[in-house]
Structure 1
């Protein structure tokens, strides 16, 4: 029997793009021009799409409700940033329904890849259709869901890797340094690439000596893990340049520049519903200047050849552009 999910996957894989005229997102656009030469083929490796919820309903078990963010707005963002490629990641607000991500990918065509969220009900035929649509990995969100117990994180990671190894996809984790330390041995023996979101959950104010950061650096150095130096505003409170991220970024890049990718985390969702609000109340997106955010990359990686690895070569290898 065809489920709604299967029908959506099949239609997106065939290139059907749904109408999104009713979306009225308030996602930020860059206010600061890019101040360095962005190499051809550059990729924003971490974004989300939040289309019209009447067509792409939110997951009932979500912990926040964001403002909308459309493919058209994402295209405008990347034109301003000189980014030709994009990776769209399914956020927690959709549970295991990847339809919104597939919709965003279809709007971008061959310049887009995606990272999906699945569970044990996701069939192999579903994964086949996801692959045809451009999905190249699955995401375990252990942060937004508040999963801090290694006894939960370890089996979830193992199960994800087991399903990915036959396809050559990667496993992406949104988690913290304590969990990374707890699964370090599993990552070191993983048969598929492992990708950590947003500086691996490191907190810039605590510096490179914070517990767990050495484990993250070791995994990068070994070549077993990639790290997204993305969402600097999640690691740092020193807006707008997040200068305390410099030591973290340089340590990770210095460990192995072939295992670092960059991303905006656009449209910058705030996943914490205020205590006086309901989960179904809309929580405004963070207003981040992505031009200024991108301009930190030459501070973190002064060598243009290293920046090309981070923006072009590493994403091409990881996502199959």
Structure 2
């Protein structure tokens, strides 16, 4: 008899139009135990749920198709890591449909918050409903959609900040350091908190002096922006310790430990469709050891007080736990 994951995989394969179940291993789980005491109330601030596509269909304009990742698999991850709270972010593959994220939050209960994707059709009443379901911010994913034009980024950020200021939600942005430099003045004057994903899109090999990263440090230092020190594997290819990320992480922590939060980026979708494949073909999830990644936080922040700020205090303030 096919189990629940088998049913999801079968549904996804049919929906995506390809038969590649043999390469779909499912979301990774930690191989290494956490080597430090994780404080009570710790939060994983960047995750995604990929639901059954028969129930949560993908956006037709997506640039990749991930395999499933369920709330139960996420719960197993966090049990292994000693993480109590979670922030679930709607991934680009759903467009402005937040249904899978709502599903994930409901499964987790009061220990979960959400970050939504909205569009021009999203009403204030829709936002009110999302707030009641645990959402506390919206995401602008400029990186995956290929937006690098500073003027487009400025327009989209300003519109998002204006929309959110009446309700106190934050604006989360996935972009690159040069774009951050181009919108720095808007972020500094923003009426809402601003959060940058994944080290601000910095590349570890280019170091702390790469174009745009000093501007990101300025925003963090002044308290005008939060940064997720998440998805280290997106900044570096040096698995499993991502040693070249250390200078970036430590520079951000030195700038302002009260404006940093941590996240896994589980289930680690590969947003680059392989050559010769279509965006509707299923791309396997990346194999990341989140135990090893969490252990790097103790390298970036040897002080337990600083780790508690990053894992517990800052997320509680930003997401309203």
Same fold (TM over 0.5): yes
Is 1:259–2:259 an aligned residue pair? Answer: yes
**Paired position in structure 2 for 1:191:** 191
- The separation in 1 between residues aligned to 2:276 and 2:85, in whole angstroms, is 39
Q: Any idea what SS the aligned residue of 2:226 has?
A: strand
Residues 1:30 and 2:30 aligned together: yes
Q: How many residues align?
A: 303
Report the equivalent of 1:237.
237
- Alignment partner, residue 148 of structure 2: 148
**How much has 1:274 moved relative to structure 2?**
1.0
- SS of alignment partner, residue 49 of structure 1: coil
Is 2:313 aligned against 1:313?
yes
Deviation of the 1:151 alpha carbon: 1.3
**Whole-angstrom distance in 2 between the partners of 1:20 and 1:85:** 24
Q: Deviations over 1:155-179 (max 9, x none)?
A: 1000000111011000000000011
State the alpha-carbon separation in 2 of the partners of residues 220 and 20 from structure 1: 41
Structure 1 residue 20, shift from structure 2 partner: 8.8
Match of residue 161 from structure 2: 161
SS in 1 for 2:96: coil
Structure 1: unaligned runs, 5 residues or longer:
1-18
**Gap runs ≥5 in structure 2:** 10-24
Q: 2:41 matched to which residue of 1? A: 41
Alignment-derived partner of residue 105 in structure 2: 105
For 1:190 and 1:74, how far apart are their aligned partners in 2?
33
After TM superposition, the structure 1 = structure 2 runs for residues 1-321 of structure 1, keeping only pairs within 5 Å, are 22-24=7-9, 26-321=26-321
Q: CA deviation at 1:21?
A: 8.8
Q: What's the TM-score once normalised by structure 2's chain length? A: 0.93
Q: TM-score, normalised by structure 1?
A: 0.93
Q: CA RMSD in A?
A: 1.1
Report the Cα offset of residue 249 of structure 1. 0.2
Q: 2-side partners of 1:199 and 1:33: how far apart?
A: 24
CA–CA separation in structure 1 for the residues paired with 2:8 and 2:221? 43
Shift of 1:22: 3.7
Say which SS state the counterpart of residue 8 (structure 2) adopts.
coil
**1:80 Cα shift?**
0.2
Distance 1:109 1:271 in 2: 28
SS at match of 2:132: helix
Q: What is the rounded CA distance, in whole Å, between the counterparts of 1:280 and 1:216 in structure 2? A: 35
Aligned-partner Cα distance in 1 for 2:7–2:96: 24
Q: CA deviation at 1:234?
A: 0.1
Q: Tell me by how many angstroms 1:23 deviates.
A: 2.8
Q: CA separation in 2, counterparts of 1:105 and 1:316?
A: 16
1:85-118 Cα deviation digits (max 9, x unpaired): 0000000000000000000000000000000000
